[in-house]
Structure 1
Amino acid sequence: MWTIGLCIVAVLVIYFTYWLNKWSNPRCNGVLPPGSMGLPLIGETLQLIVPSYSLDLHPFIKKRAQRYGPIFRTSVASRPVIVSTNPEFNNYIVKQEGRLVEIWYLDTFAKFLGMEGENKMSALGDVHKYIRSITLNHLGADAVKEKLLPQMEEFVNKALQTWSSQPSVDMRDAASKMLFDFGAKIFFSYDAEKISQMNMSEKFTNILAGFMSFPLNIPGTAYYKCLKEQNEALSMLRKIVKEKIISTEKSSEDLLDQAIDDMDKKKFLSEDFLVTMLFAILFASFESSVTLLLTLKLIAEHPAVLQELTDEHEAILKSRENPKSLLTWDEYKSMTFTLQVINEALRMGNVTPGLLRKALKDIEFDGYTIPSGWTVMLANSALQLNPNIYKDPLAFNPWRWKDLDPLVVSKNFMPFGGGIRQCAGAEYTKAFMATFLHVLVTKYRWTKVKGGTIARNPVLEFTDVLHMKFSVKSN
């Protein structure tokens, strides 16, 4: 019996050693980038989600890039991943959409954004073209120029009036609600005052809080709570879509009306698809709330930036024939320093750790092979915090943008992605932030009351509530 028992143990040890060796050294038709696959099944997931209380690059990426070089391998949630902090490789990959790579999401993201199975939103061809086209139609530069700027200013005015009447403001909730309500108004004519009981913005806030949680779907986990919130948000959106479809008052003025009108022309535009599309677009536009909070925090901590920002916007008011007129496109484009402030906040902010792509075939680069089927994470946060490109990268210095080479910036600054997947709402996001700052610095004073600790988890977030007090400027 002892002999049989020892044989069984020996076989198990040999099998486990073989399996562990196979896990640590994946098969590849070439040379894999250096790195570690971590523990079997969970890989290095736990190290990735450990919070870092700094705007600096997350230690998970920083330490491995220093040890292995700008391109290394790892494993996250049982998925083999290649992480790149190499600007040349990153720029090459974003231009290979549909040829060498396709957009991809870790299981957590895919579940949240409805990117599974037949509802996969990463589809190329007609589906991607349609989604980009309809988004640009309602959020692109032309839409901002022709109709959205004055709407933004009126919406921001109303929000700040409300905030100034309160002793202090929970900025995470307030900014999230403002951005969500305005975006939803454009997408499907959502009226927050009429249907406030839905509290949809709170659902998206809670979903964003668990964006990078470990995909363990059991009661009590962050992932379980986020999926519950997601299902409730989808139910709300499904109700809205149904009501829009049966409504006889379609004007094609909002995004959903246009999509419903297009259902006869595009076979993939089913009711479920519209719900998923709305959720994904809302989620993408909603993420900018964290960047807006970071911008407010940084400006409040740098009086010289606030002073120059105020001077620029007061000069705009003084140059008008009618000081009470609303912002124009030319005025927005003249906000040189404001756009530098926004770029600097976007550079330092990096809400997500990187862009994710899936290799469609083996990719050769710099002597390494990225196997087909592997995930590629383009860690653009590393590019935007590179001290060789941005001197003293953790310093909030909007003036640095005056002297940066545009060609160097194009390869090392991609807050909205790149290639054919560059965010269609980039101009919309910058215009909203510029409009908010315009109203804020010309009409209000504000101070930080408490909170505002920042962490990368690895998604950028505020770990405690940022409370601010707003008051109207005296003439």
Structure 2
Amino acid sequence: MWSEIGACIVAFLVIIRISHWFYTWSNPNCDGKLPPGSMGLPIIGETLHFLSPYKVHDVSPFLKRRLARYGPLFRTSLFGQKMIVSTDSEINYTILQRESANFSFWLTDSFREFLGEESMLTQHGSFHRYMKNLILHLVGPESLRGKLLHQMDEATSRHLLSWASEGSVNVNEGIAEMIFESFAKRLISYEEKKDGKKLLDNYKAFMNGLISLPVNIPGTAFHGCVQGSKKAIKVITDIYHERKATKIAHNDFLDRLIEEVEKEKAFLDDGVAINLLFLLLFGAFESTSEAITLLTKFISDHPQVLQELRKEHEAILERRENENSGLTWEEYKSMTFTHMVINETVRLANIAPAIFRKVGKDAEIKGYVIPKGWIVMVAPSVAHLNPETYENPLEFNPWRWKGQDLHSGSKTFMAWGSGTRLCVGADFAKLQIAIFLHHFVTNYRWTMTKGGDFIRRPSLIFPNGLHIRIAVKQK
């Protein structure tokens, strides 16, 4: 009898303990008033709902439900972190425009595990500015104009001709391979077909599980992500150390990087340099290939847009003295409608669905307090799909950009980020998209044959790819 009573008491105390745990999790302490919201389950929070895939081309169900219930500023818990989600364009612009100790850049634990504490993304102040200037030496406007434009133009022309010779292609895979090949050669003189180290496959595995539950068990997307990143870093590390030991110049970015490492009072060491190479190669092709895939679908579905693009690009060809000469920087800068199409595509693509900042000390925003140590998540998609800013916001309509600044961000357009963390590769991505369109619409005819459907989880994914039948246009 006494044992049964004791067991009941223990069970009762456990229930009280669990209930208290749930209560304190759901009602976090705060020296002020927290935004409304729900913290979900302990530890897991509302991560499962946030990561749930959806097919609707709209603001995510996760955000829509909470916006309707709590308004543009609400609390939640994602990835094991207490978080404030902001969909208010004024708040977002203020937080992102000027990074400070109170709103510093933050990555999820899974990102940090892959990229390391020495990643450029986690750096601040003078070191971040140094790293940014170093990357601009590779992908900034001067480098694009003087070095990369011709290489990107040649690679794009060659790959599209290869697609046409095969008759059909999965655009999503074809574009990723094209950009990867061109950029890897410029970055570290790597050629997948010659080196045979399957670096691209490792990156694909890395990307497939990058935004997933951090469960490192064989068979899970996260486990594949971990293994892919390790193998990719191993390939890059081997190339780096071999180059550093042999001192043989290849006239690529790795040459410049090793020079920086070997300076007397160097900012960089081997670990930071290798991490930077890994990150640059990832950033160069991942988001741009998704944007071009979506753009191909858009212009295939909207013949008026395709007609206007052909008109602009055929006019460029007609103005050339030599029709076989490559694309020039002046021609690229003249592509007004093309840049309208690019802006409209990245507005709808929302490839960066969330931007995170960590709060350094208690901050007051619109009558609410965001406690020190919490994370603020900025959600650009809500601004990009706001009907008060964009008429019929879910419609692909490049003409909405007519007469507007096509090369700057704003409170309502943050496709390339904002402030000091504005995407350093934005000019590279826009040039690559424009070059692709130039060759694609002037020299080829195509029809969609399969796929084209996409899901978000919350990043943009084409589960069935986008398959087209493509042929050289008869002149």
Identity of aligned residues (%): 42
The answer on whether the counterparts of 2:409 and 2:418 sit within 8 Å (CA) in structure 1 is: no
- Aligned twin of 2:170: 170
1:232-267 Cα offsets, whole Å, 9 max, x none, are 10111111111221232226x422211100113354
Say if 2:448 and 2:468, in contact at 8 Å, map to a contact too. yes
State whether residues 150 and 327 of structure 1, in contact with CA within 8 Å, keep that contact through their aligned partners in structure 2.
Answer: yes
1:185–1:282 CA distance, 2 compared to 1 (3 A): same
**Partners of 1:13 and 1:403 in 2: how far apart?**
64
> Secondary structure at 1:307's aligned position in 2?
helix
The residue number in structure 1 matching 2:444 is: 444
Report what 2:20 is aligned to: 18
Q: Could you tell me how far 1:23 is from its partner in structure 2?
A: 0.2
RMSD across aligned positions (CA): 1.8
In 2: Cα distance, 1:110 partner to 1:167 partner: 42
C-alpha distance in 1 between matches for 2:87 and 2:34: 16
Specify the alignment match of 1:84 in structure 2. 86
Matches within 5 A, 1:70-469: 70-112=72-114, 114-116=115-117, 121-195=121-195, 197-250=196-249, 253-265=251-263, 266-287=265-286, 288-402=288-402, 410-469=410-469
Shift of 1:41: 1.2
> Judging changes above 3 Å, is the alpha-carbon distance between structure 1 residues 202 and 172 closer, same or farther for their aligned structure 2 residues?
farther
Deviations 1:412-458 (A, max 9, x none): 11111111111111111001100110011111111111011111111
For 2:369, what is the secondary structure of its paired residue?
Answer: strand
* C-alpha distance in structure 1 between counterparts of 2:257 and 2:351, whole Å: 29
Preserved contact between residue 261 and residue 273 of structure 2 (Cα < 8 Å): no
Asked whether the 8 Å contact 1:177–1:202 carries over to 2, the reply is no
CA distance in 1, matches of 2:338, 2:120: 38
Residues 65 and 275 (structure 1 numbering): CA distance in 2 closer, same or farther, change over 3 Å? same
**Secondary structure of the corresponding residue to residue 435 of structure 1:** helix
Residue number among 4, 7, 19 corresponding to 2:6 in the alignment: 4
CA distance in 1, matches of 2:87, 2:408: 15
- Which residue identity does 2:261 align to in structure 1? M
Please tell me the residue identity of whatever aligns with 1:237. Answer: I
What's the offset of the Cα at 1:337?
0.5
Q: What is aligned with 1:58?
A: 60
Whichever residue aligns with residue 51 of structure 1, its letter is P
Q: Which amino acid aligns with 2:314?
A: E
CA distance in 1, matches of 2:186, 2:360: 36
SS state of the match for residue 93, structure 1? helix
The whole-number CA distance in structure 1 between the counterparts of 2:176 and 2:157 is 16
Deviation of 1:120 (Å)? 7.2
Give unpaired runs (5+ residues) of structure 2: none
User: How far did residue 408 of structure 1 move?
Assistant: 11
Matches of 2:337 and 2:27, distance apart in 1: 50
Q: Is 1:39 matched with 2:41?
A: yes
Separation in 1, partners of 2:255, 2:374: 38
Q: Which moved more, 1:426-435 or 1:325-334?
A: 325-334
8 Å CA contact 2:353, 2:459 repeated in 1:
yes
Alignment-mate amino acid for residue 256 of structure 1? L
The CA deviation string for residues 266-294 of structure 1, in whole angstroms up to 9 with x for no partner, is 54422222111111111122221111100
**d(CA) in 2 for partners of 1:142 and 1:446?**
34
Q: Residues of 2 paired with 1:220 and 1:291: CA distance? A: 29
Residues in 2 aligned to 1:398 and 1:349: alpha-carbon distance in whole angstroms: 13
Asked if structure 1 preserves the Cα contact closer than 8 Å seen for 2:443 and 2:473, the reply is: yes
- Give secondary structure in 2 for the equivalent of 1:445: strand
> For 2:430, what is the secondary structure of its paired residue?
helix
Q: CA deviation at 1:297?
A: 0.8
Q: 1:208, CA displacement in angstroms? A: 1.5
1:25 and 1:341 map into 2 onto residues whose CA distance is 46
Task: Single out whichever of 139-148 and 123-132 deviates more from structure 2.
Answer: 123-132
Partner Cα separation in structure 1 for residue 212 and residue 294 of structure 2: 22
How far apart, CA to CA, are the structure 1 residues paired with 2:164 and 2:201? 21
For residues 455 and 327 of structure 2, the distance between their equivalents in structure 1, rounded to whole angstroms, comes to 35
Name the aligned partner's letter for residue 443 of structure 1.
N
Judge conservation of contact 1:211–1:459 (CA < 8 Å) in 2: no
Q: In the alignment, residue 175 of structure 1 is paired with which amino acid?
A: I
Offset of residue 55 of structure 1: 2.4
1:85 is matched by which residue type in structure 2? T
> How many angstroms does 1:400 deviate by?
0.5
Determine the C-alpha separation between the residues in 2 that align with 1:119 and 1:208.
17
Residues 343 and 406 of structure 2 are in contact (CA less than 8 Å); yes or no, is this contact kept in structure 1?
Answer: no
SS at match of 1:364: strand
The two structures have a TM-score, normalised by structure 1, of: 0.95
TM-superposition CA deviations, 1:275-318 (whole Å, max 9, x none): 11111111122221111100011111111100000010000111
Q: Deviations over 1:314-369 (max 9, x none)?
A: 00111111111111111111101000001000000011311111111112110111
Which amino acid is 1:320 matched to? R
Could you say if the C-alpha distance between residues 58 and 267 of structure 1 is closer, same or farther in structure 2, counting changes exceeding 3 Å? same
Please give the secondary structure, in 2, of the residue aligned with 1:410.
Answer: coil
Q: Are the structure 2 counterparts of residues 406 and 246 from structure 1 closer, same or farther at C-alpha, using a change threshold of 3 Å? A: closer
Tell me if structure 1 keeps the 8 A contact 2:316–2:331.
yes
Of 102-111 and 308-317, the range deviating more from structure 2:
102-111
Residues 118-152 of structure 1 show CA distances to partners (whole Å, capped at 9, x for unaligned) of 55741213331222011111101111122221211
Tell me, what secondary structure is at the counterpart of 2:330?
helix
What SS class does the counterpart of residue 74 from structure 2 fall into?
Answer: strand
Rounded Cα–Cα distance in structure 1 between residues aligned with 2:110 and 2:391: 35
What residue number does 1:69 align with? 71
Alpha-carbon contact 2:352-2:415 (below 8 Å) kept: no
Describe the SS at the equivalent of 2:192. coil
CA contact (8 A) 1:362 1:372 kept: yes
1:138 touches 1:254 (CA, 8 Å); kept in 2? Answer: no
Query: SS of the residue aligned with 1:412?
Result: coil
Q: Please state how far the C-alpha of 1:225 moved relative to its aligned partner.
A: 0.9
Instruction: Describe the shift of the 1:236–1:406 C-alpha distance in structure 2 as closer, same or farther (beyond 3 A).
Output: closer
> Is the 1:80–1:374 Cα contact (8 Å) retained in structure 2?
yes
